[in-house]
Amino acid sequence: MKKPATIAAHAAGAVDQHSGGVVPALQPSTTFMRDADYAPVRADNIYSRDDSDNLRQAQEVLRRLEDAAETLLFPSGMAAIAAVFRTLPNGAKVIVQSGIYWGTMAWIRDFCERREIALTEVDADDLIATAAEQPADLVFIETPSNPWLKSVDIAAVKDATSGLLVVDATAATPILMRGLDFGADIVMHSATKGINGHSDVLAGVLSTRNAETEVWQMIRADRKMAGAILGPFEAWLLTRAMRTLPLRVERMSQNAQELAEHLLAHDGVEDVFYPGLPHHVGHAIAQKQMQGGYGSLLSVLVRGDRARALQVTGKLQVFLRATSLGGVESLVEHRQTIEPHTGIPENLIRVSVGIEHIDDLIADWEQALA
Ligand SMILES: *Cc1c(COP(=O)(O)O)cnc(C)c1O
């Protein structure tokens, strides 16, 4: 198996045989011709709701990076999560980590209620015990989690449950953590975040260790028939973006580590949540599961109240005030404004660290905290 940097730089070998171009062509056609005998000109290209060359190219890069049996792209991270949950029968039992991406939790609650699925929400710290005690058809975890940056031991959860283990590894990307290697049955990412990394494509991805399972067959069939497909242009942009994924992740992780350490030592800061900080809960698990860094996402608890947090956020100039994460440009978000009822501390500022020069990033926080 080639190294991730090589797989990514070469887009897993996607070139344009037709023109000889070293990058693949963008093929937007929705429908594909048949010959005079009515045989498809290409058996794998019939109609673009099923599949397309650009989609397959992007999937192949991700499949190799995850070392997966099969990888499927979806039009968003939420569409990928929904695709997994839609395979559950009515009355199923699921365990979901609490304190994860709020959009995921809100949708799962609603879906489980409609389908009479028994939902147990449990904190990262109690997940293994709960998974061992309670039978479940599906266990859904997010590591590192957003915005608490908690880490969950994937292998230990896999050992504890007989259910399908699905891991949202968005904050890690396949460069820093390959969840399938630790026993996850399905690894999910919002490719909108670090995988695309340029804040200009919405996409989600699922990868599996075993493409023959009933659940995976259902996911694949449902994507095709219900039409939750990523368009060729998005897939093409994603393939282009992923060429630099290992480089971007390396720089972002370095920047995030340095910024986290700097802010933790600052008088104006109460605490910093980051898997790469030795004092942070779950650091040992992150150390075991992640390689090459701890990602671009951290949360800063400034000393003071909500007004102080908003004041600091307002004074930042390099960090843009916007939701999302994993892009080349640094972003901040006052999460409590977005989800006021979920227990996010009022002084928490979520930070997505980009690829800018670290001196500029630190100087920006220094002037904002001054
Ligand atoms: C953004 C995000 C999602 C949802 O992905 P979309 O592409 O926005 O639909 C799911 N999980 C995590 C951890 C995320 O950050």
The DSSP code sequence of 325-366 is --SSS-EEE-HHHH-TTTT--TTEEEEE--SS-HHHHHHHHH
Over residues 9-13, the mean pLDDT reads 97
Over residues 159-172, the mean pLDDT reads 98
Query: Is residue 88 over pLDDT 90?
Result: yes
pLDDT in tens, 41-75: 999 999 999 999 999 999 999 999 999 999 999 99
Give 1's pLDDT tier (boundaries 50, 70, 90).
confident
**pLDDT of 41:** 96
The C-alpha atoms of residue 249 and residue 244 are separated, in whole angstroms, by 9
Contact between 208 and 183 (Cβ < 8 Å):
no
Give 235's pLDDT tier (boundaries 50, 70, 90).
very high
Nearest CA to ligand 1 atom 5: 77
Contact between 205 and 174 (Cβ < 8 Å):
no
Q: Which atom of ligand 1 is nearest to the CA of 78?
A: 9
The full set of domains in the chain, from first to last, is 4-240 (3.40.640.10), 245-369 (3.90.1150.10)
Q: Which atom of ligand 1 is nearest to the CA of 81?
A: 10
Nearest CA to ligand 1 atom 1: 190
Predicted TM-score of the model (pTM): 0.98
Distance from the CA of 32 to the center of ligand 1, in angstroms? 33
Q: What is the DSSP letter of 292?
A: S
Q: Could you count the other beta carbons within 10 Å of the beta carbon of residue 215?
A: 18
Ligand 1 mutation target, pool 84, 85, 98, 170, most atoms within 8 A of CB: 170
CA torsion sign for 309, 344, 77, 193 is positive
The C-alpha atoms of residue 329 and residue 42 are separated, in whole angstroms, by 41
**pLDDT of 78:** 98
pLDDT in tens, 311-333: 999 999 999 999 999 999 999 99
Ligand 1 mutation target, pool 74, 97, 101, 325, most atoms within 8 A of CB: 101
Distance from the CA of 266 to the center of ligand 1, in angstroms? 31
**pLDDT of 157:** 98
349 CB burial (10 A radius; 0-12, 13-18, 19+): buried
Residues sharing a CB contact under 8 Å with residue 235, sequence separation 6 or more, in sequence order: 52, 54, 55, 57, 58, 59, 73, 203
Q: Could you count the other beta carbons within 10 Å of the beta carbon of residue 67?
A: 14
Residues sharing a CB contact under 8 Å with residue 277, sequence separation 6 or more, in sequence order: 260, 261, 264, 283
Distance from the CA of 345 to the center of ligand 1, in angstroms? 21
Mean pLDDT of the chain: 97
**pLDDT of 57:** 98
Give 353's pLDDT tier (boundaries 50, 70, 90).
very high
**pLDDT of 45:** 95
Give 151's pLDDT tier (boundaries 50, 70, 90).
very high
Give 278's pLDDT tier (boundaries 50, 70, 90).
very high
Nearest CA to ligand 1 atom 2: 190
As for ligand 1, residues whose beta carbon falls within 6 Å of it are: 76-78, 101, 103-104, 142, 146, 168, 170, 190, 192-193, 202, 204
The C-alpha atoms of residue 222 and residue 309 are separated, in whole angstroms, by 44
Beta bridge partners of 273: 299
Distance from the CA of 29 to the center of ligand 1, in angstroms? 28
Ligand 1 mutation target, pool 78, 150, 186, most atoms within 8 A of CB: 78
Give 216's pLDDT tier (boundaries 50, 70, 90).
very high
